[in-house]
Amino acid sequence: MKMPNFCDFRFLLLIAAAAFIYIQVESENHCTDQTRNLIDQISIQQGRIVALEEEKKQRDEESMQLRALVQDLERKGLQRVVDKAQVPVAAVVVMACNRADYLERTIKSILKYHDLVGSKYPLFISQDGTHPQVKDKALSYDQITYMQDFWKLDAPRNLHLDYGPVHTERPGELIAYYKIASHYKWALDELFYKHNFSKVVILEDDMEIAPDFFEYFEAAADLLDKDKSIMAVSSWNDNGQKQFVHDPYVLYRSDFFPGLGWMLSKPIWNELSPKWPKAYWDDWLRLQENHRGRQFIRPEVCRTYNFGKQGSSLGQFFKQYLEPIKLNDVKVNWKSMDLSYLMEDNYLKYFASLVKKARPVYGKDLILKAHGIGGDVRIQYKDQGNFKNIARQFGIFEEWKDGVPRTAYKGVVVFRYQTSRRVFLVGPDSLKQLGIDGV
Catalytic residues: 282
Q: Which of 226, 234, 218, 422 is nearest to 340 (CA)?
A: 226
Burial of 2 from C-beta contacts in 10 A (0-12 / 13-18 / 19+): exposed
**What is the distance between the alpha carbons of residues 309 and 319, in angstroms, rounded to a whole number?**
8
**What is the distance between the alpha carbons of residues 160 and 361, in angstroms, rounded to a whole number?**
52
φ/ψ of 162, rounded to 5, equals -70, 0
Helix (H, G, I), strand (E, B) or coil at 120: coil
**What is the distance between the alpha carbons of residues 269 and 259, in angstroms, rounded to a whole number?**
15
Q: What are the helix and strand counts (H, E) for the chain?
A: 12, 16
What one-character-per-residue DSSP string does 327-352 give?
A: BP-S---GGG---GGGSHHHHHHHHH
Query: Treating both helix axes as pointing N-terminal to C-terminal, what angle do 132-139 and 100-114 enclose, rounded to 10 degrees?
Result: 20
**What is the distance between the alpha carbons of residues 183 and 390, in angstroms, rounded to a whole number?**
38
What is the chain's Cα-based Rg?
Answer: 38
**What is the distance between the alpha carbons of residues 235 and 302, in angstroms, rounded to a whole number?**
6
CB 295 within 8 A of CB 233: no
Helix (H, G, I), strand (E, B) or coil at 111: helix
The DSSP letter of residue 241 is B
- How much of the chain is in helix, strand and coil states, percent to nearest 5? 45, 15, 35
**What is the distance between the alpha carbons of residues 132 and 52, in angstroms, rounded to a whole number?**
59
